[in-house]
Structure 1
Amino acid sequence: MGKRAAAPTSRGRSQNRRRARGGRGRSRRSPIGRLVLPTLALVTLALGGGAALAHYNAGTGPADAAAAAPTDEPTTAIPTTPAPTKPAPTRSSVAPKPKASPKPEKPKVPASGAGTFAGATSSGDPVGTGGTLRRYRVQVEDGIDLSASEAAAEIERILAHPRGWAAHGRGRFQLVTENADFVIRIATPTTADRLCLAAGLNTRGELNCETTQGVVVNLKRWLLGSPTFTGTPAEYRHLIINHEVGHEIGIRMHMTCPGQGKLAPVMMQQIKGLKGCRSNAYPYDEDGSYIEGPVVP
């Protein structure tokens, strides 16, 4: 009989067992390995904590993530009370009173002038619907601040007015520079008094007149109007020309007020008082009616 094989020892069995398990047995670690692993764990923990902290600070921490997550529940805005603010300083609510516009200064009227006259150099076409043609010249006293040409143009417009004599067949008028039928002179008060007195009329430095040579207009009335006339000096010039030219076309007598509150006739001496009438600068009313009143004896 041959010899039997010796039984393996316990040591041999354990080594074989370890080999059979594919080396899964406990291996020996070096001292360096035992130091490196804990260090890596600490670094990982530190990095992870910092990232979490940064993630929280950026507003996406757990609470913020829950708030940002979509939900099916309706959201309700919570009203907030705004912080009180100081009212802006305001000025007084009472508006300041507007300053009154300064009244235009009245033009200065010289009391006297040179006594000689310069004529307008312009002429015009006849105006009027019928009647005798009357040609007229316009002259302004030398040395006063008034253009003869401008005065002539204004008188031409007055005679052509729709409520004037020419528009209602009482005469035709034409501005000329020569061969005139009558002359309209604008003179200082002293010169006007002298020209009117030559015709036997006392104008006292205030009034206009009509003479055999033509019409004399007091510069004071031309520039300032009349204290009894409700209207501007420009409107009062219509009354001056219409009244004096009324004498030129044959209305020799003056008229007076036809009744309380009615328009004064243009042939009334309105500067001496209205006697209850309303001042008026035109021979005709707006509807074409002739404005007249009782004749002054």
Structure 2
Amino acid sequence: MDRPAADTPRKPARVRVPYEASGRYVTVRGEDAPRAGRGPVIRYRVEVERGLPYRGQEFAAQVHRTLNDPRGWGRFRRVDSGPVRLSVALSSPATTNRQCLPLNTGGDLSCWNGSRSVINAVRWAKGVPQYADLGAYRQYVISHEVGHGLGHGHRSCPRRGAKAPVMAQQSKSLGGCRPNPWPYPRSAA
């Protein structure tokens, strides 16, 4: 049975997100260790656009829990300085549009732009109809966009009723699949 991480609220507080904020990112200060285990550790940074109604530490904590979940891509260390493999940035719709070019996000989608997972703050606030659980949708969008940063391309629903691959464009449609926020949903949590 799929479940959100134990410390992920099922119904995060809803907030009003401005269409346009400052266009400038602030790196969330602090570091978080990777989960225990084997394998390489990926260094990453979390950024939040100035003027958004979110606390950077809360966003960074949810990103870190998602990336280091046993059902996730691997082991990640959050840092606030030095070299990183990728960044995860919470962005207003206007900044998302600019950051994601030449992709036309319509102020609605998130993207990977070559160095940064650009998470659209409106989608972060509202989710999508096909995900009844906003916390699970947030896990999906982080997993999906970071998946692009790790070199994974889009996939489609393998068969009706199956769990959607995390690299399926679940924000647009489930294509007959069920929602799934994880790259490895069968792994023990």
Same fold (TM over 0.5): yes
Bigger helix fraction: 1
TM-score normalised to structure 1 length: 0.56
Say whether residues 1:248 and 2:149 are aligned partners.
Answer: yes
Q: Displacement, 1:287?
A: 5.2
How far, CA to CA, are the matches of 1:280 and 1:105 in structure 2?
22
Q: Deviations over 1:250-275 (max 9, x none)?
A: 21x21111111111110000122112
How far, CA to CA, are the matches of 2:59 and 2:30 in structure 1?
11
| 1:185 alignment partner AA | A
Q: 1:225 matched to which residue of 2?
A: 127
| Consecutive unaligned residues in structure 1, runs of 5 or more | 1-103, 167-171, 289-297
| 1:203 alignment partner AA | T
1:137 maps to which of 41, 45, 49: 45
Note closer, same or farther for the CA distance 1:257–1:188 as it changes in structure 2 (3 Å cut). same
Count how many residue pairs are aligned between Structure 1 and Structure 2. 177
Q: Displacement, 1:132?
A: 3.2
How far, CA to CA, are the matches of 2:62 and 2:118 in structure 1?
16
Bigger strand fraction: 2
TM-score normalised to structure 2 length: 0.86
Say whether residues 1:163 and 2:71 are aligned partners.
Answer: yes
Say whether residues 1:267 and 2:175 are aligned partners.
Answer: no
Q: Displacement, 1:106?
A: 4.3
Q: Deviations over 1:11-40 (max 9, x none)?
A: xxxxxxxxxxxxxxxxxxxxxxxxxxxxxx
Note closer, same or farther for the CA distance 1:150–1:130 as it changes in structure 2 (3 Å cut). same
> What do you get for the CA RMSD once the two structures are aligned?
2.0
Q: Deviations over 1:101-144 (max 9, x none)?
A: xxx98421211101111111110112363443221111111112
Identity %: 39
CA contact (8 A) 2:30 2:79 kept: yes
Greater length-normalized contact order (CA 8 Å, ≥ 6 residues apart): 2
| Consecutive unaligned residues in structure 2, runs of 5 or more | 1-11
Say whether residues 1:196 and 2:103 are aligned partners.
Answer: no
Is the partner of 1:271 in helix, strand or coil?
coil
- 4+ residue segments displaced more than 3 Å: 128-132
